[in-house]
Amino acid sequence: MSTARVTAGPQSSIGLRSIAGRIGFLPALLLLLVAAMSATDPQFYGIINILNILRNASLLAIVACGQALVIVAGGFDLSVGAVVALASVVTAKTMATTATAFPGNTALIIASGVAAGLGCGMVVGLVNGFCVAKLKVSGFVVTLGTMSATAGVGLMITNGIPVYGMPDIFVKGFGRAQAFGLPTAVHVALIVILVMVFAQRRTLFGRYVYAIGGNVDAAVVSGVSIQRHIVGTYVVSSVLAALAGILLTAQVGSGQASFGGDRMMLQSIAAAVIGGVSLRGGVGRVEIVAISALFLTILGNALNLLHVDSRLQPVFLGVIMVAAVALDELSRRRKARV
């Protein structure tokens, strides 16, 4: 019987932090960054620069959404960068091969390429999920392994040479096209984010992912089937990474094993963590992760425009990531029990 304790404590602690907490710390920071950059460099709000930012942020957001889902379930996906590269070369290679077999059949060529790209993402995701859920190997180790293997396969397919031979319409009519003034990648990213938000909030899958990340033993006792959902998170993550790889391929016009890579992997984790996804699992929302992806992209762009040494830029990323986690810990410690 816990008698309701009167919370007659100090109400005066509504400081700067809680105001930022109310509208969101990250959006506040984002607005600040945009305002500061607009004031200092007119190049920043040029249409070309803005489209460039949006395109890059979209690709990162797609990958980070999947990454966030895996981390919420208590896992880790290091293989996303390598999957971006593999999906890119597999898509391009499949399209080139189909084009020589069935010349002129553009619909078939594109469909086979996209299916192959997404398919290899799905395979990697299934392997990751299977090893984590069934063999009980930690997600960190499994995806470290598949990252290495996937990157190797990508290099073997291409020998490091970009793969050309995709239909023109795939590149010009899709990858580089714009609808309502925005690049294709932005539309795709918005759809992905909306679907993911819906999945997190309104579906059993999303709820169970939260439950598993929150306390896996409690989820077991509550009758949640753990393995299926863990495999699901890794598959979603890899398929989304593959989707980003296909978008990148369509935009550049060639399949390259150098796409994605470690940089994409690190940035996706950074976006998730800065976006409030807890590495302890059970906490995190993809819409905030998407905003955080936009923030990171703008930050990188700003550092470029300000002519900050490119070797120094990763330092900023590191500092911001650690600061975000520290802030998260600090706010956790201040919570009281009732």
Q: Which of 312, 231, 249 is nearest to 88 (CA)?
A: 249
Of 140-148, 149-157, 188-196, 275-283: span binding another protein (CB under 8 A): 275-283
Of 173-181, 241-249, 264-272, 328-336: span binding another protein (CB under 8 A): 328-336
Of 32-40, 51-59, 277-285, 290-298: span binding another protein (CB under 8 A): 277-285
- What Cα–Cα distance (Å) separates residue 61 from each residue in 205, 236, 330? 20, 14, 26
Which residues, 6 or more positions from 38, have their beta carbon under 8 angstroms from its beta carbon?
A: 44, 45
State the minimum distance, in angstroms, from the CB of residue 323 to another protein: 21
| Contact flags string 224-263 toward another protein, x per CB under 8 A | xx--------------------------------------
Gap between the Cα atoms of 205 and 219, Å rounded = 13
If the CB atoms of residues 181 and 223 are measured against another protein, the closer one turns out to be: 223
Structure tokens at 66: 């999947």
Residues 186-215 that bind another protein (CB under 8 A): 201-205, 207-208, 210-211, 213-215
Burial of 266 (0-12, 13-18, 19+ CB in 10 A): middle
Is there binding between residue 285 and another protein (CB under 8 A)? no
Kindly report the backbone phi and psi dihedral angles of residue 255, in degrees, each rounded to the nearest multiple of 5, phi listed first: -90, 130
State the minimum distance, in angstroms, from the CB of residue 105 to another protein: 36
Inter-residue contact 68 to 277 (CB < 8 Å): yes
In sequence order, what DSSP letters do the residues of 32-47 get, joined into one string? HHHHHHHHH-TTTTSH
If the CB atoms of residues 7 and 100 are measured against another protein, the closer one turns out to be: 7
Is there binding between residue 221 and another protein (CB under 8 A)? yes
Among 30, 283, 303, 327, binds another protein (CB under 8 A): 283
Among 79, 282, 289, 298, binds another protein (CB under 8 A): 282
State the minimum distance, in angstroms, from the CB of residue 269 to another protein: 19
Q: Which of 111, 114, 58, 109 is nearest to 91 (CA)?
A: 114
Is there binding between residue 76 and another protein (CB under 8 A)? no
Q: Which of 195, 232, 161, 221 is nearest to 65 (CA)?
A: 195
Structure tokens at 145: 């392994």
If the CB atoms of residues 307 and 337 are measured against another protein, the closer one turns out to be: 337
Q: Which residues of 100-128 are buried (b: 16+ CB within 10 A; e: fewer)?
A: eeeeeebeebbebbbebbbbbbbbbbebb
Is there binding between residue 278 and another protein (CB under 8 A)? yes
- Residues paired with 183 in a beta bridge: 178
Is there binding between residue 5 and another protein (CB under 8 A)? yes
Is there binding between residue 173 and another protein (CB under 8 A)? no
State the minimum distance, in angstroms, from the CB of residue 74 to another protein: 11
What does the angle CA 230 – CA 143 – CA 187 come to, to the nearest 5 degrees? 75
Of 130-138, 220-228, 246-254, 260-268: span binding another protein (CB under 8 A): 220-228
If the CB atoms of residues 36 and 325 are measured against another protein, the closer one turns out to be: 325
Inter-residue contact 254 to 160 (CB < 8 Å): no
Q: Which of 145, 130, 109, 314 is nearest to 228 (CA)?
A: 130
Of 10-18, 41-49, 80-88, 187-195: span binding another protein (CB under 8 A): 10-18
Which residues, 6 or more positions from 21, have their beta carbon under 8 angstroms from its beta carbon?
A: 331
Is there binding between residue 181 and another protein (CB under 8 A)? no
Of 110-118, 147-155, 163-171, 330-338: span binding another protein (CB under 8 A): 330-338
Structure tokens at 54: 């949006």
Q: Which residues bind another protein (CB under 8 A)?
A: 1-5, 7-11, 13, 201-205, 207-208, 210-211, 213-215, 217-225, 278, 280-283, 334-338
